[in-house]
């Protein structure tokens, strides 16, 4: 089962690059959206993060069964992916 993952990031953000690399290393497909070039995506990130332009912000899953994660550590990412998998089984 493939869980949809949207990564809102910025090309000048090291945390975004690290999270993309971590997802790729795990062989996990995701959609990347650059908030520097997408005003609606930037507004979403600011809304989720109480006014902050925090990247990366990930939305893992869909509908009512999703996990939203901001600036995850590797262990945060593992936890969120495990939780999202359990929610979508």
Q: What is the pLDDT of residue 1?
A: 56
CATH of region 5-87: 3.40.30.10
Domain boundaries, the chain: 5-87
Q: How far, in Å, CA of 59 to CA of 66, rounded?
A: 7
Q: What is the pLDDT of residue 10?
A: 96
Q: What is the pLDDT of residue 69?
A: 95
Strands 31-34 and 65-70: unpaired
Are the CB atoms for 47 and 35 separated by under 8 Å? no
Q: What is the pLDDT of residue 67?
A: 87
Q: Which residues contact 31 (CB under 8 A, 6 or more apart)?
A: 4, 5, 6, 7
- What's the pTM? 0.91
Low-confidence ranges of the chain (pLDDT < 70): 1
Please give the mean pLDDT across all residues of the chain.
92
Per DSSP, 3 falls in state P
| Alpha helices (H) in 1-89, listed in sequence order | 14-25, 39-48, 74-87
Q: What is the pLDDT of residue 17?
A: 97
């Amino acid at each position: 089962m493939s869980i949809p993952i949207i990564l809102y990031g910025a090309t000048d953000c090291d945390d975004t690059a690290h999270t993309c690399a971590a997802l790729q290393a795990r062989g996990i497909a995701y959609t990347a959206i650059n908030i520097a070039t997408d005003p609606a995506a930037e507004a979403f990130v600011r809304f989720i993060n109480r006014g902050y332009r925090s990247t990366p912000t990930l939305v893992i899953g869909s509908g009512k069964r999703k996990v939203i994660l901001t600036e995850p550590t590797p262990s945060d990412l593992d936890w969120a992916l495990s939780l999202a998998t359990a929610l979508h089984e």
